[in-house]
């Protein structure tokens, strides 16, 4: 009886640890991509870790606010099958996203949350990486009633940092109005 219990316990323990082998650990503080995930799990690979960033948003009158410092941290979660990012801004506010790639639709789905604007229903963007940019879209009507999208673009992604821009675009993407931009440099490890 004791042998059966010991073998059952070992099998259970092995199964449990196997479920978490790609989570954050001492050797991999930001987790690892799960090799059983779609290859797109590596789309955000250059961002994994922590960066010092400068965030600048546009005012209602069209001018730009003063840049704000923030730390943007990325990690693999859910045993390496999804990506989470979190920001900490100089004013003490937080925001973040959970990013899942769904193979059936061949798209990333990004659910965003913020301490400044709590929500009972998280807004979501969807999109893909094409060439050297990741573009995500969410339907949004302009103040004048024109239908379009709020488009998020990650670009210039390298091991030393990356850039991000949030823009309103019309349905044909011929009108582009940037409202928020962020530049990030890798923190010294």
Sorted by where each begins, the domain ranges of the chain are 33-186
* 150 in Cβ contact with 166 (< 8 Å): yes
Calculate mean pLDDT across residues 135-150.
95
66 has a pLDDT exceeding 50: yes
Q: What angle do CA 143, 151, 157 make, to 5 degrees?
A: 150
Polymer length of the chain: 189
* 169 in Cβ contact with 147 (< 8 Å): no
Distance of alpha carbon 121 from alpha carbon 141, whole angstroms? 19
Distance of alpha carbon 169 from alpha carbon 189, whole angstroms? 37
Q: Please give the CATH number for the structural domain made up of 33-186.
A: 2.40.128.20
pTM > 0.95: yes or no: no
Provide the pLDDT confidence category of residue 12 given band limits of 50, 70 and 90. very low
- Residue 51: enclosing H or E segment and its boundaries? strand 49-57
């Amino acid at each position: 009886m004791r042998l059966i219990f010991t073998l059952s316990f070992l099998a259970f323990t092995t199964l449990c640890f196997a479920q978490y082998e790609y989570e954050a650990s001492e050797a991999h503080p930001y987790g690892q991509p799960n090799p059983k995930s779609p290859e797109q799990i590596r789309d955000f690979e250059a961002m994994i870790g922590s960066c010092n960033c400068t965030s600048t948003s546009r005012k209602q009158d069209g001018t730009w606010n003063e840049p704000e410092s923030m730390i943007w941290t990325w990690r693999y979660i859910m045993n390496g099958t999804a990506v989470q990012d979190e920001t900490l801004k100089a004013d003490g506010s937080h925001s973040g996203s959970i990013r899942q790639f769904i193979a059936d639709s061949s798209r990333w789905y990004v659910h965003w949350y913020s301490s400044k604007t709590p929500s009972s229903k998280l807004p979501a963007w969807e999109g893909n990486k094409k060439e050297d940019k990741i573009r995500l879209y969410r339907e949004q009507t302009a103040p004048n009633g024109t239908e379009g999208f709020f488009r998020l673009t990650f670009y210039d992604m390298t091991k030393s940092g990356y850039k991000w821009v949030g823009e309103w675009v019309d349905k044909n993407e011929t009108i582009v109005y940037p409202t928020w931009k962020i530049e990030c440099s890798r923190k010294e490890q």
